[in-house]
Amino acid sequence: MAKQRVSQFKKIENQKLLKELKVSQENKKKQIDEEHKKELENFNDEMDRKLYDLNERYEEDQKALFNQHENEINARTEEFNKEYPLIPKYSVEFLNLNKILEGLVKQKE
């Protein structure tokens, strides 16, 4: 009877140890899951911040490029207007034909 009691106590003790191990493993698993969630949140926050910074930099670069293009267009337009003014230069042939036309008008022909 004493042997049976000892074996029962050993079984009970083993069951208690198994339960404690399961509980401690579950607690460790929960801790690891929580740490994983925290790390994932931190990672997501950091990536969101980096993406926001990249988008801001992209917008700034886009604005700078747009301004640069505007400046180039204005400079080239001014350069073109200086080279080719709005006042037309008539060719010699046109001027001769115009004088002939004026002469004919004076003669009323």
94-104 confidence digits (pLDDT tens)? 999 999 999 98
Strands (E), 1-109: none
Only one residue has tokens 């698993």, namely 29
Tell me the two tokens of residue 88.
């037309």
pTM of this structure: 0.52
**For residues 22 and 16, what is the distance between their CA atoms, to the nearest angstrom?**
10
Q: Give kind and range of the element (H or E) at residue 71.
A: helix 2-83
Give me the numbers of helices (H) and strands (E) for the chain, helices first please: 2, 0
Segment 36-77, tens digit of pLDDT: 999 999 999 999 999 999 999 999 999 999 999 999 999 999
pLDDT computed for residue 109 by the predictor: 62
Tell me the two tokens of residue 12.
């009970």
| SS3 call for 53 | helix
DSSP 8-38: HHHHHHHHHHHHHHHHHHHHHHHHHHHHHHH
